[in-house]
Structure 1
Amino acid sequence: MSSSTPPAEVSKNIQEAERFLASLTRTASQHEETRKELLAMYRAQVAALESPLEVIWRMMMEPHQSAALRAAMGMGLVEPIASSESPKTASELASITGADKQLIVRILRPLTTMGIFAEVGYETYAATPTTKILTVPSVGGGFKFMFDQAATSVIHMPHFLAHTSFANPAGPSTAFQSAFTTDLQLFPWLMQHASPMSNFNDLMTGQRMTRIEWFDFADVHSILFTNDTSSDANDSALLVDIGGGRGHDLEAFRKRFPGEVRGKGKLVLQDMPPVIADIGDLHGDIVRQEYDFFTPQPVVGARAYYLRSIFHDYSDAKCREILQHVVKAMKPGYSKLLVFEWVLPDAGSPLYPALLDINMMALFSGMERTEIQWRELLGSAGLEIVKFWTIGKETEGLIEAVRK
C-alpha cells in the first residue's frame, strides 16, 4: 500500500483485516499448536509495525509491568476482585486489604490497560480471565518465584557477567548467588526458604498446564515396545525417570499405556531422598528410588532412561558427569536415552525459549541448547542421536539416543 493511499481506504482495509484476524483467531484457538503459530505470526507483525524507538521504550517499561502486578499480589488485590460477582471500588478494596486507596488506583492503572484487571468505571474494577487465572496457585505462585528470585537474578546478571569479564557462565558461580549474596546454589537455598520453595513448586506444576507430553507426539512403540531383547522383562526396568520429582511424568505415562506397560518391565522413579520422602499418592506399579544423578546409576540395562528438564540446569561439563553414569548403565543395542527438553533451532529461535535460556543462565549458569549443541554434548558422552522428535519450534522436543 503506497503512502498516497487515502486515509478512508486505509481505515476500511484495517477494518476488513480486523474481521479476518478475529475469525482466524477463533479457529486457531481450537488447537494449541496452531494457536502458538498464529501468536508467533502476530508478534512478528507487531515487531514490524513498531518503530525502533517504540521497541526500546517498550523494553524499558516491561519491568514496571511485572513490578505493578507483583505489588498488586502482595497487597492482596487479586482475590477480592477475582472472587467478586460485582465490580469493586478502590475504596472497597482499601477496606478489604488495608492498602492505601490512592496506591491501589496507581498500581491498578497500568494493569487495567494490559487486561489483567478491567476498569469498568471511576476507580472501579472487575475481573478478567487473567485476573482469575492468577488465583490458581501454580500460576500465582509461579509468578512470585519468577519475579522474586528469577527476575532479580536476571536483572543482576549484567553486573555478574561484567565481573567475570563476560565469560560464558559455566558454573559453579551464578548470577543468582551474586544477587542474593549467598554461597548456596538455588536448590539448596530454596531448601532453607519455605515460601520461595513453595512458589517454585507451584511454578513446576504450572508448567504442566499447557505442556504436550512427549508420548503424545513421539512414536512410543518404536522407542520402547519393539525389539525387546531383555531376558526377563518383568524383572528389568522399562523406563527409569531420573530426577523425576514427584512422579508426574511416570504417572501420566502409565495411565496413557496401561496395557503396553504390563509385563514389559518396571517403572522406576529416581530423585534425591527429601523429594522421594515428600511424595504422596503414587501408583504402586511405580518403584521409588533415592538417587543422586552425579553418582553411579543403580538400575543397569533398562529399556530407557528418561530425563526431563535436567540438563538445562547445568554446563556441558556437569552434563557429561550425569551422562557418563547413564551410559555405563545402558545395554548396547537395547537401552535408550530419552531427553525431554527444548531443542532450539540452530537459527531463528522463538522468543520464549530464547528468554528461557537467559533465565537458566542467571539462575544456574545453565543453558537451553540448539540441535547442534545437543549433538555435540551427547556425542562427547558416547551417545548417538537416533532422532529429534518434535512438533514445532514453540514446544519442547524429545531426543532419542543410543550408545555408540
Structure 2
Amino acid sequence: MTTSVENPTILSLVEDIKQTALQDQSPGRSAESHFQLLGLIDKLRLAVETPTETVLRLIYQPPQNAALRTIMDLGIFPLLVEQNKRGLSATELARRTGAERGLIVRLMRVMTALGLCASHESEVYIATEKTAVMTQPIGRDGIPCIYDLTMPTLAKLPDYFREHHYISPKEYSRSPMQWAVGQSQFEWLAQSKHRQGLFNSYMSSRRHGKPSWFDVYPVERLTSGVMDHPEAVFLVDVGGNQGHDLVKFHDKHPEVPGRLILQDLPKVVSRCPGEGIQGMGYSFLDPQPIKGARAYYFRAIFHDWPDHICRKILVNTISAMDPGYSRIIISDFVLPDTDAQLLQASLDIQMMSIGSGVERSERQWRELLDEAGLEITGIWKGNPGMESVIEAVRKEEPSML
C-alpha cells in the first residue's frame, strides 16, 4: 500500500518525466535530455516497486540473458523481421529452427516480456523496432560476443573475491578472467577469427551515428599555432587498431598541416589504413618513438588496464612530448563522482573482470594523470552514454593555447 509520504515523490517524478519527455520530443532535443528522461524513468520504477519486487527483478536477470543468448543461436529475430507484420507462430518457428515447439514458447515468453518482440495472440510473435535492432551488428554480434566473453568469469567472480580477500585485481595477468578460465580477454578473442570479428563489429556499432572525438572536442585548440613543416607530426593515434578515427579526422579536416600516424602492434597495422596516414608498428608499453607531435590520441585504451600500467603508458608518452606544445587527448568514459549511470557502472565491473581494467570517475582520472606528471586542461562531454574527451599537458610548463 502506498503511503501519503510516498505519493508526492511518485507524482513529482511523473511530472518531471512529462516535462523532460516534451523536451526530448522537441525539434532541438539533445542527447542530455534523452538520458535524463531514461534516468527519471528508472527512478520512477524504483519508487513504484516494493523492495521485494526490486530484489526479484535483479535475481532473475541471469535467466533472461541466457534465454536471449539461446534465441540468438536459433536465429529467431531475423525470421520475425522477414515476416514483418504477419508474425510467426511457435509451430512455424520450431519448423524453421529445428527447436522443440514447447521450448520456443518458453523462450519467447521472455523475449516478449523484455519488449524484444510482440505477441497479440497466443504463441504468435511479431517483430517490432526492437526486434530489428537485434538483427543489426550491435545486437546480432554484441550479444553473443559479450555473453560468451564475460559470463564464464562473472559466474565465478564472487568466488574470485572470496579467495582474493575482496581486493580489486591490480595485475592484467592475474585478472579474474585469467583465474576463472585461464585466458585473458585478448587471448580469448585471438583464439578465433569469428570471435574477433564479432567483437570488432560490436565495438564499431556502439559508436555508429555517435559524434567522433573531434566533434566534441574543440579542434582549434590543436590547430591554432600548429607547426607546419614536412616532418611535423600533428596527430599520433596510439593503439588505434585499423585507423578508423584517423580516417574520419582526415576526411573532416584535410586542411590541417602535419603528418597523421597510426600506431598499433605490427600485425594490426600491416596494411595502409588510408590516404595521408602512416602506419607504424608500436607497443605503448615501450617509449614513444615519435617526438614532439602536437597530440597523442588514445581511444578506449586506458579502461583496459589497471592504474600502474596506465601510468607506464602515460610516462612513455610524456617522454616524447614537447613541453608547452604537445598534449595528450584521451577518449574514454568519465564517470561522474556521484550517481553514475547503471550501464557505465556495470561496464566498470566487466572491465575489472576480464582484464583488471577500470572505468574511471573524474576524480580517478585527475589522480591518475597527476601521478603520471600530467595536468588535465579540459574535459568535454558530448553524448552522456558515450566517451568524454580529456585534454592533458605536461605539468612542467604551461601549454600554448
Correspondences of 1:180-219 after superposition (within 5 Å): 180=181, 182=182, 184-219=183-218
* 1:274 is the counterpart of 2:267: yes
Q: Determine the structure 1 residue equivalent to 2:289.
A: 298
Partner of 1:398, secondary structure, is strand
TM-score, normalization by structure 1:
0.89
Q: Determine the structure 1 residue equivalent to 2:116.
A: 116
Q: What are the Cα deviations for residues 307-340 of structure 1, in whole angstroms up to 9, with x where unaligned? A: 0111111111111111111000101110010111
* 1:70 is the counterpart of 2:58: no
Q: Determine the structure 1 residue equivalent to 2:399.
A: none
| Structure 1 residue ranges (4+ consecutive) displaced by more than 3 angstroms after TM superposition | 2-5, 12-31, 391-395
What one-letter code is carried by the residue in structure 1 that aligns with 2:370?
G
Q: What are the Cα deviations for residues 179-215 of structure 1, in whole angstroms up to 9, with x where unaligned? A: 32x1x32112211123322221122112212533222
Q: What are the Cα deviations for residues 332-379 of structure 1, in whole angstroms up to 9, with x where unaligned? A: 110010111111122221221111111101111110111121111111
Q: Determine the structure 1 residue equivalent to 2:177.
A: 176
Q: Determine the structure 1 residue equivalent to 2:142.
A: 142
Gaps of 5+ in 1: none
User: Aligned-pair RMSD on alpha carbons?
Assistant: 2.6
Give, in whole Å, the separation in 1 of the partners of 2:39 and 2:14: 22
What one-letter code is carried by the residue in structure 2 that aligns with 1:213?
S
Give, in whole Å, the separation in 1 of the partners of 2:17 and 2:260: 51
Partner of 1:287, secondary structure, is strand
Q: Determine the structure 2 residue equivalent to 1:311.
A: 302
State the percentage of identical aligned residues.
Answer: 37
Give, in whole Å, the separation in 2 of the partners of 1:221 and 1:350: 31
Correspondences of 1:1-400 after superposition (within 5 Å): 23=22, 26-27=25-26, 30-85=29-84, 86-171=86-171, 172-180=173-181, 182=182, 184-222=183-221, 224-228=222-226, 230=227, 232-259=228-255, 261=256, 264-277=257-270, 282-391=273-382, 393-400=384-391
TM-score, normalization by structure 2:
0.90
Gaps of 5+ in 2: 396-401
Call closer, same or farther: CA 1:161–1:19 in 2, change over 3 Å: closer
- The answer (yes or no) to whether the contact 1:139–1:206 under 8 Å persists in 2 is no
Give, in whole Å, the separation in 1 of the partners of 2:200 and 2:91: 35
- The answer (yes or no) to whether the contact 2:369–2:375 under 8 Å persists in 1 is yes
Q: State the Cα distance separating 1:285 from its structure 2 match.
A: 0.6
Give, in whole Å, the separation in 1 of the partners of 2:154 and 2:320: 37
Give, in whole Å, the separation in 1 of the partners of 2:15 and 2:368: 50
Aligned pairs, number: 388
